[in-house]
Amino acid sequence: MTAPHDPALTSPPVARRWAYGVYIGRFQPPHQAHLLVMLEALQHVGQLIVVIGSARAARNTKNPFTAAERQAVISEMLRDAGTAQERLRFVQVRDHLYNEGLWLSEVQEGVAQQTRGSRDVALIGHLKDESSYYLRSFPAWTFLPTHVVSPLNATDVRQAFFEDRLSEVAGMVPPAVHAFLAAFRETPEYRDLRTEYDYLREYRAAWARAPFPPVFVTADAAVTRSGHVLVVRRAGLPGRGQLALPGGFLSPGETLLHCAARRAYSETGLSEAVNLPAQRRAQAVFDAPGRSQRGRTVTHAFHFDLGTGPLPELHAAADAAEARWLPFSEALAHPEVFFEDHHAIIEHFLLRG
């Protein structure tokens, strides 16, 4: 692996300097190429604002580390590389998979808070593939493409990490990140993620011989009544312990509407005397390609609005550790407790008016 200061990988001096540089990433985890890009950027900007994406999401094997953990380890790796902490700023931004405008607005606002309105801002990044399309979405900032050329990517680091190829990991990440990863392996969070990783690997392997990559179809139920939404705590993998809307895979002989209602009754013990299909208020498709770690999964979500009045009794089924009516305020305020994109589904139905 190339050392972080390899001059062959850093850009030739750019005559101009910017007061601020913005570097957006997921950093799950930060690796040597991220460090090189940041060090290159610091040659051209006074302060570097690192925008840490995918914040406030439940841990999963694609997003194993919290934004706070990523921020701490990025600070440390840059300090080890000789960067004064005063030159660093951080902004943490949630994903908004179905609302690009909201995501852009949160990035703009987070950066503006750091720059206090300065227009002397450069955006650093690498248009590596379609996933970097967002770099074209900030015309107010001068785009400064990185000259770092490296095949490294965080997916490979996570794979090596979860598959115990630790010497490979050591070659891909700065020492501070390696130390963080080694300590993380001792935590209960790691044990849960590792169980989930192994489960998902087997799950995908079971489909590997299909002639085409499978596309799964699911249905979910957002049942609301008197300012509460019906949620279950998942008892099984993936997402064990996380909150979810009741829902599941479509059976061959049923409609999507029937599937959503069936799962809502069976997972929560909601009485079938409550006629969910008759109380359908809205429905929407949620199809972000990366929304599920099991594979490509398109879900059809239904909003069943049961109006006002007392909350019906619930009894969690075997595949749900708990079923409860969650106040809207709690559901909206805590994206980090929800499985996959279920928080975005709730936001869609509750906030769209």
Q: Is the peptide bond between 214 and the residue preceding it cis, with omega within 30 degrees of 0?
A: no
Q: If residue 162 lies in a helix (H) or strand (E), which one and from where to where?
A: helix 154-162
| Binding positions for ligand NAD, 224-283, rule CB under 6 A | none
Q: Does 335 bind ligand NAD (CB under 6 A)?
A: no
Encoding tokens for residue 193?
Answer: 């993620």
Q: Does 184 bind ligand NAD (CB under 6 A)?
A: no
Q: Does 33 bind ligand NAD (CB under 6 A)?
A: yes
Q: Around Cβ 214, how many Cβ atoms within 10 Å?
A: 14
Q: Does 154 bind ligand NAD (CB under 6 A)?
A: yes
Query: Minimum distance from CB of 322 to ligand NAD (Å)?
Result: 29
Q: Does 96 bind ligand NAD (CB under 6 A)?
A: yes
Query: Minimum distance from CB of 81 to ligand NAD (Å)?
Result: 16
Residue whose pair of structure tokens reads 């709730």 in the numeric block? 346
Number of H helices, E strands in the chain: 10, 12
Contact residues for 253 (Cβ-Cβ < 8 A; gap 6+): none
Q: Does 26 bind ligand NAD (CB under 6 A)?
A: yes
Burial environment of residue 283 by CB neighbours within 10 A (0 to 12, 13 to 18, 19 or more) = middle
Q: Does 24 bind ligand NAD (CB under 6 A)?
A: yes
Query: Minimum distance from CB of 248 to ligand NAD (Å)?
Result: 25
Position of minimal CB gap to ligand NAD: 53
Q: Give the closest residue to 326 by CA, choosing from 193, 224, 189.
A: 224
| Binding positions for ligand NAD, 118-137, rule CB under 6 A | 125-126, 128, 131-132, 134
Residue whose pair of structure tokens reads 């107010």 in the numeric block? 140
Query: Minimum distance from CB of 52 to ligand NAD (Å)?
Result: 8
Q: Is the peptide bond between 151 and the residue preceding it cis, with omega within 30 degrees of 0?
A: no
Query: Minimum distance from CB of 273 to ligand NAD (Å)?
Result: 40
Chain contacts with ligand NAD (rule: CB under 6 A): 24-27, 33-34, 37, 53-54, 95-97, 100, 103, 125-126, 128, 131-132, 134, 146, 148, 150, 152-154
